[in-house]
Amino acid sequence: MPDYVSDDRITIVRRCRTPRELVWKVWTDARHVAAWWGPFGPEETSAEIDARVGGVYYVGLCAPDGSEHPSRGIISELVPQKKIVIEGDPDAPDACGAGLPPRAIVTVLFEDDSLGTRVTLDALFVSETARTDAETQGYLTSWSATLDVLDTYYENVMASE
């Protein structure tokens, strides 16, 4: 499915062959999120998720050069197995926020689909400049690559449970 980019928004849609209940778990269980989030691998990734409105959604990435890339936001809306809305930390140290851009509203939708589940990741930025800066730092390419291989992770989780 094509990605969508507008002045202040990036939307990425992927379909996966996994039941929505399991996809939800993989996105809301810190142990799972640390295993698949970001480009550096589970040994360099940590996560803390307080899955409730007002809770923190945090993923810490440590790059091979030792630099830290925190991804932090506050959950502003949570509809179990359907929707997570996260407001990106306004003080994030980089424009892409390591996946949760500063002051962006990131909405992840989980919908039943004939294949299994449709996942929509939508980031609404505070401005076109904020979106362009995040894109320049790899927001779209990193999320696209991550979502493209997440199906394999879902399948591994299904096989182990």
Residue pLDDT, tens place only, 14-33: 999 999 999 999 999 999 99
Q: Long-range contacts: 47-50, Cβ < 8 Å, 24+?
A: 50/75
Distance in angstroms (rounded) separating the CA atoms of residues 66 and 78: 33
In the chain the domains, ranked by start, together with CATH numbers, are: 4-26+73-160 (3.30.530.20)
Q: Write out pLDDT tens, residues 32-69.
A: 999 999 777 778 889 999 999 999 999 998 888 888 88
pTM, to two decimals? 0.94
Distance in angstroms (rounded) separating the CA atoms of residues 82 and 156: 22
Q: Give the pLDDT of residue 2.
A: 57
